[in-house]
Chains A and B, each alone.
Chain A
Amino acid sequence: MRIPLSALVGIIMTGSFFLIALFAPLVAPYGLAEIVGDVWEPRSAEHWLGTDNIGRDLLSRMIYGGRTTIFIATAATALSFILGSILGLTAAVLGGWIDQAMSRGVDLIMAIPSLIFALVVLSVMPVTTFVLIVVMGLLDSTRVFRLSRAVAVDINVMDFVEAAKLRGEKLKWIIFREILPNALSPLVAELGLRFIFAVLFLSTLSFLGLGVQPPASDWGGMVKENKEGIVFGIGAALVPAAAISILAISVNLVADWVLNRTSDLKGGRGG
Protein backbone atom coordinates (compact mmCIF):
# COMPACT_ATOMS: atom_id res chain seq x y z
CA MET A 1 0.00 0.00 0.00
CA ARG A 2 1.52 3.29 -1.08
CA ILE A 3 0.73 6.33 0.98
CA PRO A 4 0.85 9.59 -0.99
CA LEU A 5 3.12 12.31 0.36
CA SER A 6 0.29 14.62 1.39
CA ALA A 7 -1.39 11.88 3.44
CA LEU A 8 1.95 10.96 5.02
CA VAL A 9 2.52 14.57 6.06
CA GLY A 10 -1.03 14.65 7.42
CA ILE A 11 -0.56 11.45 9.43
CA ILE A 12 2.75 12.61 10.92
CA MET A 13 1.40 16.04 11.84
CA THR A 14 -1.84 14.70 13.28
CA GLY A 15 0.12 12.06 15.19
CA SER A 16 2.46 14.62 16.71
CA PHE A 17 -0.45 16.86 17.73
CA PHE A 18 -2.06 13.94 19.54
CA LEU A 19 1.23 12.82 21.14
CA ILE A 20 1.98 16.31 22.41
CA ALA A 21 -1.55 16.57 23.76
CA LEU A 22 -1.19 13.22 25.50
CA PHE A 23 2.14 14.02 27.13
CA ALA A 24 1.48 17.73 27.70
CA PRO A 25 2.81 17.90 31.29
CA LEU A 26 6.09 16.24 30.20
CA VAL A 27 6.59 18.39 27.13
CA ALA A 28 5.56 21.81 28.40
CA PRO A 29 8.51 23.83 29.73
CA TYR A 30 6.39 25.81 32.23
CA GLY A 31 3.12 25.36 34.09
CA LEU A 32 -0.30 26.20 32.67
CA ALA A 33 -1.02 29.20 34.90
CA GLU A 34 2.56 30.04 35.88
CA ILE A 35 3.42 33.71 35.36
CA VAL A 36 7.01 33.71 34.18
CA GLY A 37 7.64 37.07 32.59
CA ASP A 38 6.33 40.37 31.37
CA VAL A 39 3.21 40.90 29.30
CA TRP A 40 3.63 39.89 25.64
CA GLU A 41 7.38 39.37 25.68
CA PRO A 42 8.82 38.68 22.23
CA ARG A 43 10.30 35.32 21.29
CA SER A 44 13.44 34.40 23.25
CA ALA A 45 15.52 31.37 24.19
CA GLU A 46 13.54 30.93 27.43
CA HIS A 47 10.17 31.54 25.84
CA TRP A 48 10.15 30.11 22.32
CA LEU A 49 6.86 31.73 21.42
CA GLY A 50 7.09 34.66 23.82
CA THR A 51 4.60 35.27 26.62
CA ASP A 52 0.88 35.92 26.63
CA ASN A 53 -1.40 38.71 27.84
CA ILE A 54 -0.55 38.27 31.52
CA GLY A 55 3.00 37.00 31.17
CA ARG A 56 2.49 33.25 30.95
CA ASP A 57 4.71 31.17 28.66
CA LEU A 58 2.86 30.97 25.35
CA LEU A 59 4.40 27.66 24.28
CA SER A 60 3.33 25.93 27.49
CA ARG A 61 -0.15 27.40 27.19
CA MET A 62 -0.28 26.20 23.59
CA ILE A 63 0.62 22.66 24.63
CA TYR A 64 -1.94 22.53 27.44
CA GLY A 65 -4.52 24.34 25.31
CA GLY A 66 -4.03 21.83 22.54
CA ARG A 67 -4.67 19.08 25.03
CA THR A 68 -8.02 20.63 26.00
CA THR A 69 -9.03 21.29 22.40
CA ILE A 70 -8.12 17.82 21.20
CA PHE A 71 -9.65 16.07 24.20
CA ILE A 72 -13.03 17.83 23.96
CA ALA A 73 -13.16 17.57 20.18
CA THR A 74 -12.30 13.86 20.30
CA ALA A 75 -14.87 13.13 22.99
CA ALA A 76 -17.58 15.07 21.14
CA THR A 77 -16.75 13.32 17.86
CA ALA A 78 -16.84 9.92 19.58
CA LEU A 79 -20.22 10.71 21.12
CA SER A 80 -21.65 11.97 17.85
CA PHE A 81 -20.41 8.90 15.98
CA ILE A 82 -21.63 6.32 18.43
CA LEU A 83 -25.02 7.95 18.78
CA GLY A 84 -25.45 9.07 15.17
CA SER A 85 -24.37 5.83 13.51
CA ILE A 86 -26.35 3.53 15.81
CA LEU A 87 -29.50 5.60 15.42
CA GLY A 88 -28.94 6.02 11.68
CA LEU A 89 -28.43 2.31 11.10
CA THR A 90 -31.41 1.45 13.29
CA ALA A 91 -33.61 3.90 11.40
CA ALA A 92 -32.52 2.42 8.08
CA VAL A 93 -33.14 -1.19 9.15
CA LEU A 94 -36.43 -0.62 10.95
CA GLY A 95 -37.91 1.76 8.40
CA GLY A 96 -41.55 2.72 8.75
CA TRP A 97 -42.72 5.30 11.23
CA ILE A 98 -39.68 5.00 13.51
CA ASP A 99 -37.46 5.97 10.57
CA GLN A 100 -39.84 8.79 9.63
CA ALA A 101 -39.98 10.17 13.16
CA MET A 102 -36.21 10.06 13.61
CA SER A 103 -35.44 11.53 10.19
CA ARG A 104 -37.92 14.37 10.56
CA GLY A 105 -36.57 15.10 14.04
CA VAL A 106 -33.06 15.33 12.65
CA ASP A 107 -34.29 17.55 9.80
CA LEU A 108 -35.78 19.84 12.39
CA ILE A 109 -32.58 20.14 14.40
CA MET A 110 -30.55 20.67 11.23
CA ALA A 111 -32.89 23.50 10.23
CA ILE A 112 -31.21 25.59 12.92
CA PRO A 113 -27.53 26.42 12.33
CA SER A 114 -25.43 24.44 14.86
CA LEU A 115 -23.69 27.50 16.24
CA ILE A 116 -26.96 29.34 16.84
CA PHE A 117 -28.55 26.33 18.50
CA ALA A 118 -25.48 25.80 20.66
CA LEU A 119 -25.56 29.47 21.72
CA VAL A 120 -29.25 29.20 22.62
CA VAL A 121 -28.66 26.11 24.74
CA LEU A 122 -25.47 27.42 26.35
CA SER A 123 -27.28 30.58 27.42
CA VAL A 124 -29.06 28.62 30.13
CA MET A 125 -26.68 25.71 30.74
CA PRO A 126 -23.64 25.95 32.97
CA VAL A 127 -20.65 25.91 30.62
CA THR A 128 -18.59 22.93 31.76
CA THR A 129 -16.44 20.53 29.80
CA PHE A 130 -19.10 17.85 30.15
CA VAL A 131 -21.90 20.10 28.90
CA LEU A 132 -19.75 21.22 25.97
CA ILE A 133 -19.00 17.66 24.94
CA VAL A 134 -22.66 16.64 25.18
CA VAL A 135 -23.98 19.68 23.31
CA MET A 136 -21.37 19.41 20.55
CA GLY A 137 -21.77 15.66 20.30
CA LEU A 138 -25.55 15.75 20.14
CA LEU A 139 -25.66 18.52 17.54
CA ASP A 140 -23.08 16.80 15.38
CA SER A 141 -24.71 13.39 15.67
CA THR A 142 -27.49 14.65 13.37
CA ARG A 143 -24.96 14.86 10.51
CA VAL A 144 -23.64 11.39 11.26
CA PHE A 145 -27.22 10.12 11.44
CA ARG A 146 -27.97 11.41 7.95
CA LEU A 147 -24.86 9.87 6.44
CA SER A 148 -25.12 6.50 8.14
CA ARG A 149 -28.82 6.21 7.36
CA ALA A 150 -28.21 7.05 3.71
CA VAL A 151 -25.43 4.47 3.46
CA ALA A 152 -27.37 1.82 5.38
CA VAL A 153 -30.56 2.18 3.35
CA ASP A 154 -28.60 1.00 0.28
CA ILE A 155 -27.00 -1.90 2.12
CA ASN A 156 -30.23 -2.93 3.79
CA VAL A 157 -31.79 -4.05 0.50
CA MET A 158 -28.86 -6.30 -0.45
CA ASP A 159 -29.32 -10.04 -0.68
CA PHE A 160 -27.03 -10.95 2.19
CA VAL A 161 -29.00 -8.75 4.57
CA GLU A 162 -32.21 -10.30 3.29
CA ALA A 163 -30.71 -13.71 3.92
CA ALA A 164 -29.77 -12.76 7.46
CA LYS A 165 -33.28 -11.51 8.12
CA LEU A 166 -34.80 -14.74 6.75
CA ARG A 167 -32.38 -16.69 8.90
CA GLY A 168 -34.14 -15.02 11.80
CA GLU A 169 -31.23 -12.91 13.05
CA LYS A 170 -32.03 -10.27 15.64
CA LEU A 171 -31.89 -6.52 14.97
CA LYS A 172 -28.61 -6.21 16.86
CA TRP A 173 -26.93 -8.85 14.69
CA ILE A 174 -28.20 -7.26 11.47
CA ILE A 175 -26.97 -3.81 12.45
CA PHE A 176 -23.60 -4.73 13.88
CA ARG A 177 -22.65 -7.86 11.92
CA GLU A 178 -24.23 -7.31 8.52
CA ILE A 179 -24.57 -3.59 7.89
CA LEU A 180 -21.96 -1.84 10.01
CA PRO A 181 -18.91 -3.61 8.50
CA ASN A 182 -20.09 -2.62 5.02
CA ALA A 183 -20.92 0.95 5.99
CA LEU A 184 -17.64 1.44 7.82
CA SER A 185 -15.46 2.95 5.09
CA PRO A 186 -17.59 6.01 4.30
CA LEU A 187 -18.13 6.48 8.02
CA VAL A 188 -14.40 6.41 8.75
CA ALA A 189 -13.78 8.97 6.02
CA GLU A 190 -16.45 11.15 7.58
CA LEU A 191 -14.84 10.75 11.01
CA GLY A 192 -11.95 13.03 10.06
CA LEU A 193 -14.22 15.75 8.75
CA ARG A 194 -16.42 15.62 11.84
CA PHE A 195 -13.32 15.88 14.05
CA ILE A 196 -12.20 18.99 12.20
CA PHE A 197 -15.66 20.39 12.52
CA ALA A 198 -15.60 19.71 16.26
CA VAL A 199 -12.21 21.43 16.64
CA LEU A 200 -13.39 24.49 14.72
CA PHE A 201 -16.72 24.54 16.53
CA LEU A 202 -15.14 24.35 19.98
CA SER A 203 -12.57 26.98 19.05
CA THR A 204 -15.32 29.27 17.81
CA LEU A 205 -17.34 28.82 21.00
CA SER A 206 -14.29 29.47 23.15
CA PHE A 207 -13.35 32.46 21.03
CA LEU A 208 -16.82 33.86 21.67
CA GLY A 209 -16.19 33.31 25.39
CA LEU A 210 -18.81 30.57 25.63
CA GLY A 211 -16.61 27.49 25.44
CA VAL A 212 -13.83 26.41 27.79
CA GLN A 213 -13.82 28.79 30.74
CA PRO A 214 -10.72 30.38 32.32
CA PRO A 215 -8.33 29.61 33.96
CA ALA A 216 -8.36 26.48 31.80
CA SER A 217 -7.93 27.36 28.19
CA ASP A 218 -8.08 25.90 24.74
CA TRP A 219 -6.75 27.36 21.52
CA GLY A 220 -9.92 29.30 20.75
CA GLY A 221 -9.87 30.79 24.23
CA MET A 222 -6.23 31.76 23.81
CA VAL A 223 -7.08 33.69 20.66
CA LYS A 224 -9.66 35.56 22.72
CA GLU A 225 -7.18 36.23 25.55
CA ASN A 226 -4.55 37.64 23.25
CA LYS A 227 -6.67 39.40 20.65
CA GLU A 228 -6.14 42.85 22.14
CA GLY A 229 -2.45 42.56 21.27
CA ILE A 230 -3.14 42.47 17.54
CA VAL A 231 -3.87 46.18 17.42
CA PHE A 232 -0.40 46.86 18.87
CA GLY A 233 1.16 44.61 16.27
CA ILE A 234 1.69 41.69 18.67
CA GLY A 235 0.94 38.42 16.99
CA ALA A 236 0.38 36.23 20.06
CA ALA A 237 -3.26 35.58 19.10
CA LEU A 238 -2.21 34.34 15.69
CA VAL A 239 -0.22 31.44 17.17
CA PRO A 240 -3.18 29.43 18.55
CA ALA A 241 -5.27 30.39 15.53
CA ALA A 242 -2.57 29.04 13.25
CA ALA A 243 -2.32 25.86 15.36
CA ILE A 244 -6.04 25.25 14.88
CA SER A 245 -5.65 25.69 11.15
CA ILE A 246 -2.63 23.40 10.96
CA LEU A 247 -4.35 20.67 12.97
CA ALA A 248 -7.45 20.96 10.80
CA ILE A 249 -5.45 20.84 7.58
CA SER A 250 -3.42 17.81 8.71
CA VAL A 251 -6.53 15.85 9.63
CA ASN A 252 -8.09 16.95 6.36
CA LEU A 253 -5.14 15.59 4.38
CA VAL A 254 -5.60 12.20 6.01
CA ALA A 255 -9.39 12.25 5.60
CA ASP A 256 -9.07 13.19 1.94
CA TRP A 257 -6.82 10.24 1.33
CA VAL A 258 -9.13 7.83 3.16
CA LEU A 259 -12.08 9.22 1.22
CA ASN A 260 -10.29 8.73 -2.10
CA ARG A 261 -9.26 5.21 -1.19
CA THR A 262 -12.74 4.18 -0.15
CA SER A 263 -14.38 5.74 -3.18
CA ASP A 264 -11.78 4.02 -5.37
CA LEU A 265 -12.75 0.68 -3.89
CA LYS A 266 -16.38 1.36 -4.63
CA GLY A 267 -16.02 2.69 -8.14
CA GLY A 268 -13.49 0.04 -9.04
CA ARG A 269 -11.49 2.52 -11.07
CA GLY A 270 -8.12 3.46 -9.63
CA GLY A 271 -6.45 6.82 -9.88
Chain B
Amino acid sequence: MSSLGKLLVQRIALGLLLLLAVSALIFAGTQILPGDVAQSILGQSATPTALANLREELGLNEPAIVRYFGWLGGVVTGDLGTALSNGQDIGPQIGKRLGNTMFLAACAAVVAVPLAIFLGLVAVRYRNRWPDKVISGLTLASISLPEFFIGYVLIYFFAVKFRWFPSVATVYDSMSFIEKLNSIALPVTVLTLVVLAHMMRMTRAAILNVMQSAYIETAELKGLSAFNVIFKHAFPNAISPIVNVVMLNLAYLVVGIVVVEVIFVYPGMGQYLVDHVAKRDVPVVQACGLIFAGVFIGLNLVADVVAILSNPRLRHPK
Protein backbone atom coordinates (compact mmCIF):
# COMPACT_ATOMS: atom_id res chain seq x y z
CA MET B 1 0.00 0.00 0.00
CA SER B 2 2.88 2.33 0.77
CA SER B 3 4.24 2.18 -2.76
CA LEU B 4 0.78 3.03 -4.07
CA GLY B 5 0.66 6.03 -1.75
CA LYS B 6 4.08 7.03 -2.96
CA LEU B 7 2.93 6.74 -6.56
CA LEU B 8 -0.10 8.95 -5.90
CA VAL B 9 1.89 11.57 -4.04
CA GLN B 10 4.37 11.53 -6.88
CA ARG B 11 1.62 12.12 -9.44
CA ILE B 12 0.11 14.98 -7.49
CA ALA B 13 3.49 16.57 -6.91
CA LEU B 14 4.17 16.25 -10.63
CA GLY B 15 0.83 17.90 -11.34
CA LEU B 16 1.66 20.82 -9.07
CA LEU B 17 5.08 21.17 -10.68
CA LEU B 18 3.41 21.22 -14.07
CA LEU B 19 1.00 23.88 -12.89
CA LEU B 20 3.92 25.97 -11.71
CA ALA B 21 5.65 25.61 -15.07
CA VAL B 22 2.38 26.47 -16.83
CA SER B 23 2.01 29.62 -14.76
CA ALA B 24 5.51 30.64 -15.86
CA LEU B 25 4.61 29.91 -19.48
CA ILE B 26 1.40 31.93 -19.30
CA PHE B 27 3.26 34.79 -17.70
CA ALA B 28 6.01 34.58 -20.30
CA GLY B 29 3.41 34.44 -23.07
CA THR B 30 2.13 37.87 -22.11
CA GLN B 31 5.38 39.54 -21.10
CA ILE B 32 8.41 38.42 -22.99
CA LEU B 33 7.11 39.11 -26.45
CA PRO B 34 8.72 41.27 -29.09
CA GLY B 35 7.82 44.85 -28.29
CA ASP B 36 6.38 46.34 -25.18
CA VAL B 37 3.13 45.22 -23.54
CA ALA B 38 2.18 48.79 -22.68
CA GLN B 39 2.71 49.83 -26.29
CA SER B 40 0.62 46.99 -27.67
CA ILE B 41 -2.16 47.65 -25.14
CA LEU B 42 -2.42 51.35 -25.96
CA GLY B 43 -1.62 51.12 -29.66
CA GLN B 44 0.76 53.12 -31.82
CA SER B 45 -0.91 56.47 -31.20
CA ALA B 46 -0.36 56.44 -27.42
CA THR B 47 1.20 59.51 -25.82
CA PRO B 48 4.51 59.01 -24.00
CA THR B 49 2.92 60.02 -20.67
CA ALA B 50 0.16 57.45 -20.99
CA LEU B 51 2.75 54.84 -21.87
CA ALA B 52 4.89 55.74 -18.86
CA ASN B 53 1.84 55.63 -16.58
CA LEU B 54 0.77 52.24 -17.82
CA ARG B 55 4.29 50.88 -17.54
CA GLU B 56 4.34 52.08 -13.96
CA GLU B 57 0.94 50.52 -13.27
CA LEU B 58 1.96 47.19 -14.77
CA GLY B 59 5.29 47.36 -12.98
CA LEU B 60 7.09 47.04 -16.30
CA ASN B 61 10.04 48.99 -14.96
CA GLU B 62 10.98 46.03 -12.81
CA PRO B 63 12.64 42.95 -14.30
CA ALA B 64 10.29 40.22 -15.57
CA ILE B 65 11.41 37.67 -13.00
CA VAL B 66 10.51 39.97 -10.10
CA ARG B 67 7.11 40.65 -11.65
CA TYR B 68 6.54 36.93 -12.17
CA PHE B 69 7.20 36.04 -8.56
CA GLY B 70 5.15 38.98 -7.39
CA TRP B 71 2.25 37.77 -9.52
CA LEU B 72 2.71 34.15 -8.47
CA GLY B 73 2.85 35.11 -4.79
CA GLY B 74 -0.41 37.00 -5.24
CA VAL B 75 -2.10 34.08 -7.01
CA VAL B 76 -1.06 31.62 -4.30
CA THR B 77 -2.47 33.87 -1.59
CA GLY B 78 -5.68 34.36 -3.54
CA ASP B 79 -4.96 37.84 -4.86
CA LEU B 80 -5.35 37.80 -8.62
CA GLY B 81 -4.55 41.48 -9.07
CA THR B 82 -6.69 44.27 -10.47
CA ALA B 83 -8.18 44.58 -13.91
CA LEU B 84 -6.72 47.31 -16.10
CA SER B 85 -9.99 48.13 -17.79
CA ASN B 86 -12.05 49.02 -14.71
CA GLY B 87 -9.57 48.91 -11.82
CA GLN B 88 -11.58 46.35 -9.87
CA ASP B 89 -10.19 43.32 -8.08
CA ILE B 90 -10.20 40.31 -10.37
CA GLY B 91 -10.77 37.70 -7.64
CA PRO B 92 -14.41 38.47 -6.71
CA GLN B 93 -15.37 39.03 -10.36
CA ILE B 94 -13.98 35.67 -11.34
CA GLY B 95 -15.44 33.89 -8.32
CA LYS B 96 -19.04 34.37 -9.38
CA ARG B 97 -18.37 33.64 -13.03
CA LEU B 98 -16.40 30.54 -12.17
CA GLY B 99 -19.44 29.29 -10.25
CA ASN B 100 -21.66 29.90 -13.30
CA THR B 101 -19.22 28.14 -15.61
CA MET B 102 -18.91 25.18 -13.26
CA PHE B 103 -22.70 24.95 -13.11
CA LEU B 104 -22.92 24.86 -16.90
CA ALA B 105 -20.08 22.35 -17.22
CA ALA B 106 -21.49 20.14 -14.46
CA CYS B 107 -24.92 20.06 -16.11
CA ALA B 108 -23.35 19.16 -19.44
CA ALA B 109 -21.27 16.43 -17.80
CA VAL B 110 -24.27 15.00 -15.95
CA VAL B 111 -26.11 14.65 -19.27
CA ALA B 112 -23.20 13.67 -21.51
CA VAL B 113 -21.26 11.11 -19.47
CA PRO B 114 -24.00 8.54 -18.70
CA LEU B 115 -25.46 8.98 -22.17
CA ALA B 116 -22.10 8.44 -23.85
CA ILE B 117 -21.27 5.36 -21.80
CA PHE B 118 -24.71 3.86 -22.38
CA LEU B 119 -24.55 4.52 -26.12
CA GLY B 120 -21.00 3.15 -26.20
CA LEU B 121 -22.26 -0.07 -24.64
CA VAL B 122 -25.09 -0.21 -27.16
CA ALA B 123 -22.57 0.24 -29.97
CA VAL B 124 -20.55 -2.70 -28.67
CA ARG B 125 -23.66 -4.84 -28.31
CA TYR B 126 -24.66 -4.13 -31.93
CA ARG B 127 -21.13 -4.05 -33.28
CA ASN B 128 -20.94 -3.56 -37.08
CA ARG B 129 -24.70 -3.33 -37.34
CA TRP B 130 -26.65 -0.12 -37.95
CA PRO B 131 -26.51 1.43 -34.43
CA ASP B 132 -22.75 1.11 -34.56
CA LYS B 133 -22.61 2.64 -38.04
CA VAL B 134 -24.78 5.55 -36.96
CA ILE B 135 -22.41 6.18 -34.06
CA SER B 136 -19.28 6.23 -36.19
CA GLY B 137 -21.05 8.54 -38.65
CA LEU B 138 -21.96 10.90 -35.83
CA THR B 139 -18.37 10.89 -34.64
CA LEU B 140 -17.15 11.98 -38.04
CA ALA B 141 -19.71 14.77 -38.11
CA SER B 142 -19.05 15.97 -34.60
CA ILE B 143 -15.30 16.30 -35.12
CA SER B 144 -16.06 18.48 -38.11
CA LEU B 145 -18.77 20.73 -36.73
CA PRO B 146 -17.65 23.90 -35.00
CA GLU B 147 -19.47 24.64 -31.74
CA PHE B 148 -21.02 27.78 -33.13
CA PHE B 149 -22.62 25.91 -36.02
CA ILE B 150 -24.41 23.53 -33.66
CA GLY B 151 -25.17 26.44 -31.35
CA TYR B 152 -26.74 28.71 -33.93
CA VAL B 153 -28.67 25.90 -35.60
CA LEU B 154 -30.18 25.07 -32.22
CA ILE B 155 -30.95 28.75 -31.54
CA TYR B 156 -32.44 29.13 -35.01
CA PHE B 157 -34.84 26.25 -34.53
CA PHE B 158 -35.51 25.90 -30.82
CA ALA B 159 -35.33 29.52 -29.72
CA VAL B 160 -36.51 31.45 -32.79
CA LYS B 161 -38.76 29.13 -34.79
CA PHE B 162 -40.36 27.01 -32.06
CA ARG B 163 -39.75 29.38 -29.11
CA TRP B 164 -39.16 26.54 -26.65
CA PHE B 165 -36.06 27.94 -24.99
CA PRO B 166 -34.52 31.41 -24.66
CA SER B 167 -31.76 32.22 -27.17
CA VAL B 168 -29.72 34.02 -24.53
CA ALA B 169 -28.72 32.05 -21.48
CA THR B 170 -28.81 34.58 -18.67
CA VAL B 171 -28.66 33.33 -15.13
CA TYR B 172 -28.84 35.39 -11.98
CA ASP B 173 -29.08 34.61 -8.30
CA SER B 174 -32.81 35.17 -7.85
CA MET B 175 -33.69 32.56 -10.46
CA SER B 176 -35.00 29.24 -9.22
CA PHE B 177 -33.09 26.09 -10.08
CA ILE B 178 -35.68 25.05 -12.66
CA GLU B 179 -35.58 28.45 -14.32
CA LYS B 180 -31.82 28.23 -14.49
CA LEU B 181 -32.00 24.79 -16.06
CA ASN B 182 -34.49 26.03 -18.65
CA SER B 183 -32.26 28.94 -19.47
CA ILE B 184 -29.12 26.84 -19.97
CA ALA B 185 -30.87 24.00 -21.82
CA LEU B 186 -29.48 24.99 -25.21
CA PRO B 187 -25.86 25.57 -24.16
CA VAL B 188 -25.89 22.25 -22.32
CA THR B 189 -27.20 20.54 -25.45
CA VAL B 190 -24.41 22.05 -27.54
CA LEU B 191 -21.71 21.01 -25.08
CA THR B 192 -23.19 17.53 -24.84
CA LEU B 193 -23.26 17.11 -28.60
CA VAL B 194 -19.70 18.36 -28.88
CA VAL B 195 -18.25 15.75 -26.53
CA LEU B 196 -20.80 12.96 -26.86
CA ALA B 197 -19.72 11.24 -30.04
CA HIS B 198 -16.06 11.23 -29.18
CA MET B 199 -16.72 9.87 -25.72
CA MET B 200 -19.03 7.22 -27.18
CA ARG B 201 -16.50 6.10 -29.70
CA MET B 202 -13.69 5.85 -27.19
CA THR B 203 -15.90 3.96 -24.73
CA ARG B 204 -16.71 1.57 -27.52
CA ALA B 205 -13.04 1.09 -28.33
CA ALA B 206 -12.15 0.54 -24.67
CA ILE B 207 -14.82 -2.14 -24.19
CA LEU B 208 -14.08 -3.82 -27.51
CA ASN B 209 -10.47 -4.07 -26.41
CA VAL B 210 -11.51 -5.92 -23.27
CA MET B 211 -13.97 -8.07 -25.23
CA GLN B 212 -11.12 -9.77 -27.02
CA SER B 213 -9.83 -11.36 -23.80
CA ALA B 214 -10.12 -15.08 -23.23
CA TYR B 215 -12.32 -14.76 -20.14
CA ILE B 216 -14.97 -12.97 -22.19
CA GLU B 217 -15.03 -15.87 -24.57
CA THR B 218 -15.48 -18.16 -21.58
CA ALA B 219 -18.39 -16.06 -20.38
CA GLU B 220 -19.95 -16.19 -23.83
CA LEU B 221 -19.47 -19.95 -24.04
CA LYS B 222 -21.11 -20.34 -20.64
CA GLY B 223 -24.21 -19.04 -22.37
CA LEU B 224 -24.51 -15.67 -20.64
CA SER B 225 -26.56 -13.05 -22.44
CA ALA B 226 -24.68 -10.44 -24.41
CA PHE B 227 -25.64 -7.59 -22.07
CA ASN B 228 -24.57 -9.62 -19.04
CA VAL B 229 -21.20 -10.32 -20.61
CA ILE B 230 -20.67 -6.66 -21.38
CA PHE B 231 -21.95 -5.29 -18.08
CA LYS B 232 -20.61 -7.81 -15.58
CA HIS B 233 -17.44 -9.03 -17.23
CA ALA B 234 -16.18 -6.45 -19.71
CA PHE B 235 -17.29 -3.22 -18.10
CA PRO B 236 -15.34 -3.45 -14.78
CA ASN B 237 -12.11 -3.95 -16.67
CA ALA B 238 -12.92 -1.12 -19.03
CA ILE B 239 -13.54 1.37 -16.22
CA SER B 240 -10.02 2.72 -16.21
CA PRO B 241 -9.90 3.56 -19.93
CA ILE B 242 -13.45 4.90 -19.77
CA VAL B 243 -12.67 7.20 -16.86
CA ASN B 244 -9.70 8.36 -18.85
CA VAL B 245 -11.94 9.11 -21.81
CA VAL B 246 -14.43 10.93 -19.63
CA MET B 247 -11.76 13.09 -18.02
CA LEU B 248 -10.17 13.92 -21.36
CA ASN B 249 -13.53 14.98 -22.70
CA LEU B 250 -14.35 17.02 -19.63
CA ALA B 251 -11.02 18.72 -20.17
CA TYR B 252 -12.14 19.39 -23.71
CA LEU B 253 -15.37 20.77 -22.30
CA VAL B 254 -13.28 23.42 -20.55
CA VAL B 255 -12.28 24.76 -23.95
CA GLY B 256 -15.61 24.26 -25.66
CA ILE B 257 -17.28 26.23 -22.91
CA VAL B 258 -15.43 29.40 -23.89
CA VAL B 259 -17.10 29.43 -27.30
CA VAL B 260 -20.47 28.26 -26.04
CA GLU B 261 -20.59 31.03 -23.45
CA VAL B 262 -19.94 33.60 -26.15
CA ILE B 263 -22.66 32.14 -28.39
CA PHE B 264 -25.28 32.20 -25.64
CA VAL B 265 -24.00 35.34 -23.88
CA TYR B 266 -23.68 33.30 -20.69
CA PRO B 267 -22.11 35.19 -17.77
CA GLY B 268 -19.21 32.80 -17.18
CA MET B 269 -15.44 32.63 -17.25
CA GLY B 270 -15.18 32.09 -21.00
CA GLN B 271 -17.09 35.23 -21.85
CA TYR B 272 -15.04 37.13 -19.30
CA LEU B 273 -11.78 35.89 -20.79
CA VAL B 274 -12.73 36.67 -24.38
CA ASP B 275 -13.99 40.16 -23.49
CA HIS B 276 -10.76 41.00 -21.77
CA VAL B 277 -8.54 39.59 -24.50
CA ALA B 278 -10.24 42.05 -26.83
CA LYS B 279 -9.64 44.84 -24.30
CA ARG B 280 -6.01 43.69 -23.92
CA ASP B 281 -6.51 43.52 -20.19
CA VAL B 282 -3.43 41.42 -19.43
CA PRO B 283 -3.92 40.70 -15.68
CA VAL B 284 -7.43 39.33 -16.27
CA VAL B 285 -6.26 37.23 -19.20
CA GLN B 286 -3.42 35.79 -17.13
CA ALA B 287 -5.71 34.95 -14.24
CA CYS B 288 -8.36 33.33 -16.46
CA GLY B 289 -5.75 31.49 -18.50
CA LEU B 290 -4.19 30.09 -15.34
CA ILE B 291 -7.55 28.93 -13.99
CA PHE B 292 -8.52 27.25 -17.25
CA ALA B 293 -5.13 25.57 -17.48
CA GLY B 294 -5.37 24.55 -13.82
CA VAL B 295 -8.75 22.87 -14.34
CA PHE B 296 -7.41 21.18 -17.47
CA ILE B 297 -4.35 19.84 -15.63
CA GLY B 298 -6.47 18.84 -12.64
CA LEU B 299 -8.83 16.74 -14.77
CA ASN B 300 -5.90 15.03 -16.48
CA LEU B 301 -4.40 14.34 -13.06
CA VAL B 302 -7.65 12.77 -11.85
CA ALA B 303 -7.67 10.57 -14.96
CA ASP B 304 -4.12 9.47 -14.14
CA VAL B 305 -4.91 8.72 -10.51
CA VAL B 306 -8.09 6.79 -11.35
CA ALA B 307 -6.16 4.75 -13.90
CA ILE B 308 -3.70 3.80 -11.16
CA LEU B 309 -6.41 3.06 -8.59
CA SER B 310 -8.51 0.92 -10.91
CA ASN B 311 -5.59 -1.24 -11.98
CA PRO B 312 -5.17 -4.08 -9.43
CA ARG B 313 -1.61 -4.67 -10.57
CA LEU B 314 -0.70 -1.18 -9.50
CA ARG B 315 -2.86 -1.30 -6.37
CA HIS B 316 -1.30 -4.52 -5.09
CA PRO B 317 2.26 -4.46 -6.26
CA LYS B 318 4.30 -7.63 -5.80
Number of interface residues of B (CB under 8 A): 53
Question: Of residues 204 to 228 in A, which have CB atoms within 8 Å of B's CB atoms?
Answer: 204, 207-210, 220, 223, 227
Contact assessment for A244 and B149 in the assembled complex, using a CB-CB cutoff below 8 Å: yes
Say what secondary structure dominates the interface of chain B: helix
Per-position binary interface string of chain A over residues 223-267, scored 1 when its CB falls under 8 Å from any chain B CB and 0 otherwise: 100010011110101100110110011001100100000000000
Query: CA separation between A123 and B148, bound complex, in Å?
Result: 22
Q: Of the candidates A109, A204, A230, A248, which one forms a contact with B259 in the assembled complex, judged by CB atoms under 8 Å apart?
A: A204
Q: Of the candidates A114, A196, A233, which one forms a contact with B161 in the assembled complex, judged by CB atoms under 8 Å apart?
A: A233
From known contacts A116-B255, A204-B147, A207-B148, infer whether A121 and B274 are also in contact, taking CB-CB under 8 Å: no
In whole Å, how far is B147's beta carbon from the nearest beta carbon of chain A? Answer: 7
From known contacts A112-B296, A116-B255, A196-B143, infer whether A223 and B40 are also in contact, taking CB-CB under 8 Å: no
Contact assessment for A230 and B296 in the assembled complex, using a CB-CB cutoff below 8 Å: no
Asked if B87 is at the interface (CB within 8 A of a chain A CB), the reply is no
Asked if A171 is at the interface (CB within 8 A of a chain B CB), the reply is no
From known contacts A115-B258, A210-B274, infer whether A124 and B146 are also in contact, taking CB-CB under 8 Å: no
* Chain B residues whose C-beta falls within 8 Å of the C-beta of A125 in the assembled complex: 33, 40
Contact assessment for B277 and A119 in the assembled complex, using a CB-CB cutoff below 8 Å: yes
* Chain B residues whose C-beta falls within 8 Å of the C-beta of A241 in the assembled complex: 146, 148-149, 152-153
Contact assessment for A117 and B289 in the assembled complex, using a CB-CB cutoff below 8 Å: yes
Query: CA separation between A120 and B291, bound complex, in Å?
Result: 12
Question: Of residues 13 to 43 in B, which have CB atoms within 8 Å of A's CB atoms?
Answer: 18, 21-22, 25-26, 29-31, 33, 37, 40-41
Asked if A203 is at the interface (CB within 8 A of a chain B CB), the reply is yes
Q: Which chain A residue shows the least CB distance to B167?
A: A231
From known contacts A113-B293, A126-B40, A231-B160, infer whether A209 and B274 are also in contact, taking CB-CB under 8 Å: yes
Known A231-B167, A233-B161; further 9 A-B contacts with Cβ < 8 A: A108-B18, A111-B296, A112-B25, A121-B29, A124-B37, A207-B146, A210-B274, A242-B149, A256-B140
